[in-house]
């Protein structure tokens, strides 16, 4: 997941982006990406879906052996970084619905929630 110069959010590996879903400056914003190999991928901002792609669409794939970047993007060897702060990164097993994302958005997770594969908190 990354950001563009115009403030939009993108998930390039899965060809998801939303030109109108801008991240406001100085305001906490939750960006969520879900992926299911049979259903496809979706991009959510503050728990609202802003873009999605079906599994069969061009570019909608992800293999575990691929490198994953959070807050950056690699364009032909040129890495572009996210300008901002990252508070927390959650990795869930399986795609989450909009309702599931909203349900736990403001919760402080313990790290042992069902389906949670990884939790990185950057409060230090």
Q: Which comes out higher in pLDDT, residue 13 or 66? A: 66
Q: Return the pLDDT at 74.
A: 66
User: Quick one: what percent of the chain has pLDDT higher than 70?
Assistant: 63
Closest CA to 29 of 112, 119, 105, 116: 105
Using DSSP bridges, classify how beta strands 40-45 and 72-75 pair: parallel, antiparallel or unpaired: unpaired
What mean pLDDT is reported for the chain?
72
pLDDT computed for residue 97 by the predictor: 86
The DSSP symbol for 107 reads -
- pLDDT tier for residue 19 given thresholds of 50, 70 and 90: low
């Amino acid at each position: 997941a990354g950001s563009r110069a115009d403030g939009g959010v993108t998930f390039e590996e899965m060809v998801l982006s939303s030109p109108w879903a801008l991240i406001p400056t100085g305001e906490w914003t939750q960006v969520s990406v879900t992926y299911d190999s049979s259903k496809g991928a979706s991009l959510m901002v503050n728990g609202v879906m802003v873009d999605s792609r079906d599994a069969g669409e061009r570019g909608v794939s992800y293999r575990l052996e691929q490198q994953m970047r959070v807050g950056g993007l690699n364009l032909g060897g040129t890495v572009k970084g996210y300008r901002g702060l990252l508070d927390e990164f959650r990795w869930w097993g399986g795609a989450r619905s909009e309702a599931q994302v909203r349900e736990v958005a403001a919760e402080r997770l313990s790290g042992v929630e069902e389906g949670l594969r990884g939790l990185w908190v950057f409060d230090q």
